[in-house]
Amino acid sequence: MGRQRPGKTPANSAETSNAPAGGPVAGTYPVDTGTCELIPDQFNPNGWILKVNGVHSSHIDVADPRQLDFEYMRWIAALVDTHWEADAKLRALHLGGAACSMARYFAAGFPNARQVVVELDGRLAELVRAWFDLPRAPLMRLRVGEAREVTETLHDDSRDLVIRDVFAGAKTPERLTTLEFTAQAARVLAPGGLYIINCGDTPDLRGARREAAAVCRVFAHTAVVADPAMLKGRRYGNMIIAGSDAPFAGHPSLPRTLLGGGVPAHLWDDAQVRAFAAGTRPLTDEEAS
């Protein structure tokens, strides 16, 4: 999910079952969960847009991995970039892969990072590997599996960063939003680590409040990043919710960074997040579908 940019499929787009060799090729491709469509970005000669089952999923700039087109990804990047120095030996877990935009970004910005990207759709993972110049193991491993099942197999304190960006259509599966799953994410984080989720919600913000309530229950420190219209419940969009056992330091450049770009965003501190979630019960495994 993210900002949807206009684009059109080339006339010679064709459905194929074979991964193309030598880089991205525009077209519609069958994958395990349905279809994906790779579309050239008409605004950027190096850009490609990936749609999965009709939903804008990723944007890749093949020439510049640090170029993030979706605003919510820029917000995640800003939180991480101001939390660690560039030479940090960051151990990152990405739940939800698609075109691996965030993993490419962190591979370029944190050359000592070791990343695992979990993608449910094995065929999509094959295509993405064929299309884009992704870092190879041990720098980045692309693991096919279901996000919760993989997370539950990981050792305690084994990751510094966990990013959940999983969608089935326009919604995150409920089993990845519960209090119990949030506790699993906290379990695998090392001291000082960050859990960051991309929460897509409607203007009533009911889902976002329940997700924030879960993060507030599990983590001692929280933060939210979103644009003002989303925070005021005026539109459908993305909200970034983060938790940690350590305070968010509040690097002086962070607010300025978040105000830049096409969609300026605000940063809520722990008190504001807890006020937002006050009176809301987190979703539990028993309730989740």
Query: What gap in Å lies between CA 242 and CA 90, rounded to an integer?
Result: 17
182 burial via Cβ count (<10 Å: 0-12, 13-18, 19+): buried
Res 169: pLDDT? 79
Q: What is the DSSP string of 138-172?
A: TTEEEEES-HHHHHHHSPTT-EEEEEE---BTTB-
pLDDT higher than threshold 80 for residue 156 = yes
Peptide bond into 138 cis (omega under 30): yes
Instruction: Return the minimum-mean-pLDDT range out of 95-99, 164-168, 262-266.
Output: 262-266
List the chain domain ranges: 71-277
Residue in the block written with tokens 């749609």: 51
Residues 6+ apart with CB under 8 A from 239: 199, 200, 201, 205, 208, 224, 225, 226, 230, 231
Residue 9 predicted with pLDDT over 80: no
Q: How confident is the model at residue 17 (pLDDT cuts 50, 70, 90)?
A: very low
DSSP assignments along 21-83, one per residue: SSS---EEEEETTEEEEEEE-TT-TTEEEEEETTEEEEEEETT-TT---SHHHHHHHHHHHTT
In angstroms, rounded to a whole number, what is the distance separating the alpha carbons of residues 66 and 101? Answer: 9
What is the average pLDDT across 130-140?
Answer: 93
pLDDT value for 70: 95
pLDDT, average across residues 29-42? 97
More confident call, 235 vs 199: 199
Q: Above 80 in pLDDT, residue 20?
A: no
% of the chain at pLDDT higher than 90: 83
| Tokens describing residue 228 | 């003002």
Average pLDDT over residues 183-196: 98
Overall average pLDDT of the 45-72 stretch: 95
**Structure-block tokens of residue 59:** 């944007």
- Contact present, 95 and 164 (Cβ < 8 Å): yes
pLDDT at 3: 35
- Is pLDDT at 61 greater than 90 in this prediction? yes
Instruction: Give the Cβ contact number of residue 42 at 10 Å.
Output: 12
Confidence of residue 7 (pLDDT cuts 50, 70, 90): very low
Token duo for residue 98? 């698609």
Lowest mean pLDDT among 133-137, 162-166, 188-192: 133-137
Q: Exposed, middle or buried, 128 (CB in 10 Å: 0-12/13-18/19+)?
A: buried
* Confidence (pLDDT) at 273: 97
pLDDT at 124: 97
Residues 6+ apart with CB under 8 A from 21: 130
pLDDT of residue 166 exceeding 90? yes
Mean pLDDT of all residues in 98-110: 97
The model's confidence at residue 18, banded by pLDDT at 50, 70 and 90, is very low
Distance CA 116, CA 162 (A): 10
- Residue 243's nearest CA partner among 155, 174, 182 is 182
pTM above 0.85, yes or no: yes
Contact assessment for residue 125 and residue 79, using Cβ atoms and an 8 Å cutoff: no
Give pLDDT, residue 26.
Answer: 97
The CATH superfamily assigned to 71-277 is Vaccinia Virus protein VP39 (3.40.50.150)
Whether residue 196 is predicted with pLDDT greater than 50 in this model: the reply is yes
